[in-house]
Amino acid sequence: MATNNKNNLRIGIDIGTSKVVCIIAEKNDEGINVLGLGTHNSAGLRNGVIIDIDSTVSAVKEAVNKAELMSGKQVNKAVVGISGGNVSGMNSEGVVPIKGRRVKDSEIERVMNAAQAQAIPEGHGLLHALPREFVIDNQTGVKRPLGMAGVRLEAKVHLVSCLKNTEENIGSCMRNCGIEVQNYVLEQLASSNAVLTKDEKKLGVCLIDIGGGTSDVAIFSDGSISHTINIPIAGEHVTSDIARAIQTPTSNAEELKKRYGCAMSDLVNDEETIATQAINGKDQTFSRQALATVIEERYSEIFQIIKQKIGNINLNQDIPAGIVLTGGASRIEGISQLGEEIFQIPVRVGRPQGLIGLSDILSNPIYSTSIGLVLHAQKEIDEEYTDFVFLNNPGLFKKAFRWVQNTF
């Protein structure tokens, strides 16, 4: 098998509750070209958190092996997504005096350190420190403070942390697979790279990534993340509801959801019926509208919880670009209509973009995170993006300064 070309390969691994996805891509003159794609069902996670290392390792190895066979490349290192209930987001601020009346690299470093001094949850380690804006002498909205004049520099930052053992367990799985973790990236941050436009981020938009075990939320304002939220309810809960409601095996319930599911019962013909097998092996028939009612109740709960958690946000004023849904569980009829009914703002389903090759397969919301991880890997290499990740890379302020200059 060919070796990993460290200069050109961009590899992302999404370890989800229901599926592991590995994408191997290569940077060339035309862009980032997909060479290999591998997926495998995952059974080692619950609500985004590893509960069985051996099962997770097995699933990662299978997905990586499929991608390697397709691409003819070997995976030695990758950018890996992280999410779940053990991830926490909070806003913070830091203030420092400006020496010599001109903002220098050292002031940016000090003000970012000051912003990170705010206490994060016990047992957590810092995953991301994402600058929202800088303030110089009460002048707000500064995106590139380097070289500007003033006496007081303030940084407004969104901090993302995760339980240290969460990162350690993922790292252990990857080491057991013979893969070095280049970086851990919050999954909704990765997905945003693949499905949101710059205009949406600038105007104000809410991304909801609905996976198997968790629904991950990221709100953007003026081009930067302002809020991150994780809800431990997602697609697997919908499947479980169906299985209980019509007393059928979980595998049947998942298939029924994919083939006949609808998130709004009003959109379904009340005379349409579906035949399936009950848990006792007997054949049964039920209405598609009854199925849609079960599905609608769970998706409504997800949206209502998110609406409640972002209750201090004026939806029409603060996120005028609306809501973008993505992730595997967003692939269901009627979900946009249900979202618009609950949130009362525009809602669309976002499909990942940004890579070349396998577009007929990869233009599917289930690949938003993995494609976003590949794009993140490219941005890091280009030094156009960094987010002050300190778990594995404490010395990245030189890159950080270039990020401040190039991102905004």
Per-residue pLDDT reduced to its tens digit, 194-252: 999 999 999 999 999 999 999 999 999 999 999 999 999 999 999 999 999 999 999 99
Domain spanning 9-85+164-194+352-389, CATH architecture: 2-Layer Sandwich (3.30)
What percent of the chain is predicted at pLDDT more than 70? 91
Rounded average pLDDT over 268-277 = 89
Distance CA 160, CA 182 (A): 18
pTM of the model as a whole:
0.90
* Predicted pLDDT of residue 45: 86
* Predicted pLDDT of residue 161: 92
Identify the band that residue 383 occupies on the pLDDT scale cut at 50, 70 and 90.
low
Is the pLDDT assigned to residue 394 strictly greater than 80?
Answer: no
What sign does the dihedral 214-219-225-227 (CA atoms) show?
negative
Per-residue pLDDT reduced to its tens digit, 35-89: 999 999 988 888 778 999 999 999 999 999 999 999 999 999 999 999 887 898 9
Class of domain 87-163: alpha beta
Buried b (16+ CB within 10 A) or exposed e, 191-226: bbbbbbeeebbebbbbbbbbbbbbbbbbbbbebbbb
Q: What is the DSSP letter of 268?
A: S
Per-residue pLDDT reduced to its tens digit, 19-46: 999 999 998 888 899 999 999 998 888 8
How far does Cα 212 stand from its chain's mean position?
12
Closest to 302 in 3D by CA, of 226, 190, 186, 211: 211
The secondary structure element, H or E, covering residue 173 is helix 164-176
Question: Is beta strand 77-82 parallel, antiparallel or unpaired with respect to 9-15?
Answer: parallel
Q: Are 226 and 297 in contact (CB under 8 A)?
A: no
Hey, where are the domains in the chain? 9-85+164-194+352-389, 87-163
